[in-house]
Amino acid sequence: MSAAAPGTLAALGIDIGGTKVAGGVVAPDGTILATARRATPGASVSDTEDAIAAVAEELAAGHDGELVGVGIGAAGWFDRTGDTVLFSPHLAWRHSSLRKDLTARLQRPLWVGNDADAAAWAEYRYGAARGADLALMVTLGTGIGGGIVMDGRLQRGAHGVAGEWGHMRVVPDGRLCACGNRGCWEQYASGTALGQTAREVASTSPAAAALLLERVEGQASRLTGEDVARAAYDGDPLALELVTEVGVWLGQGIADLAAVLDPEVVVIGGGVSVLGEMVLGPARARLDRALPGRGFRPGPRIVAAELGAQAGMVGAADLVRNDIVALRATPRPGAVPPSR
């Protein structure tokens, strides 16, 4: 029996975040056929790789003959080849040879890269950026990640770290960031930023934050971005104000990106994006006021991601499938080209 073409087979996509390793068997149309997950032991490189292997083995056990390869998207900065994780602000990787280590363990073709790149590709292929000539992804979670798809290709940059706009400096000498700089965009427009601002307000003005403090038994230090998001849904005025502030910072950053890249669409994903128009509305309003050349040029559309938390695994799976198709389409040295 002849082997099926890669485009007709499922692939395994694995999304590695700061708290969980989530995997899925993904069909060529983007449908997720099965899922598995493990906690991320973020302080240990070897334990994190064990968790990745465990997810892959669990999913492969039920779909082994169907899987063409494994795509892995991880929260970190990769080199251009995807061979090395240069740095991960929230995980233990530092110049780690992730591809080599996992190839030996998984014994399957691999695509390895940044999780936001994988999510950007998924939204371009199956979601909110379908058909766009130039689409940007902005993922709002613990920090801010991003990805660029231009002319139907994922753009990783000269050194592999394109799209890390969470570390654009927006406030000189501002809040200290995990990347080592101060005033990075993600310190003002992320889930972490939402929680930090809430803690600062609750510590200095407890009366103003009374409703938020009720959620954490009066302990301002326990407030998180998730607490603020839930309070905003419940109509807490302070929480709504803090969420609006995150949206304003989001719109300002997108205006800066538009000055450089002129995207057709900016897709907003990540955990904070579940706030929907509470964040996106203020972001669009700020973009309208801050877009360079406003009134004389169009700006990008700001839209919510359609694939949610599954975008990373869907994109990673599709990217490994694409790599295999491209590899098989490239003639081997000395091979006789097919007749026309």
Q: Where are the domains of the chain?
A: 6-122+309-322, 132-305
Specify the CATH number of the domain 132-305. Answer: 3.30.420.40
Most confident of the following: 15-19, 57-61, 138-142, 236-240: 236-240
pLDDT for the residue numbered 97: 85
Tens of pLDDT along 257-298?
999 999 999 999 998 999 999 999 999 999 999 999 999 999
Q: Do domains 6-122+309-322 and 132-305 have the same CATH topology?
A: yes
Looking at per-residue pLDDT, the higher value among 236 and 334 belongs to 236
pLDDT for the residue numbered 96: 86
Tens of pLDDT along 176-190?
998 889 999 999 999
Residue 148 has pLDDT above 70, yes or no: yes
User: Which segments of the chain does DSSP mark as H helices, in order?
Assistant: 45-63, 98-106, 115-126, 191-204, 210-214, 225-233, 237-261, 277-290, 311-329
Residue 102 has pLDDT above 60, yes or no: yes
Mean pLDDT, range 108-112, rounded to an integer: 93
**Architecture label for domain 6-122+309-322:** 2-Layer Sandwich (3.30)
pLDDT for the residue numbered 220: 96
Euclidean distance between CA atoms 35 and 299, whole angstroms? 38
Q: Which helix (H) or strand (E) holds 155?
A: strand 153-155
Contact 279, 268 (CB under 8 A): yes
pLDDT band at 3 (very low <50, low <70, confident <90, very high): very low
Looking at per-residue pLDDT, the higher value among 278 and 45 belongs to 278
Residue 42 has pLDDT above 80, yes or no: no
Residue 86 has pLDDT above 80, yes or no: yes
Mean pLDDT, range 11-39, rounded to an integer: 92
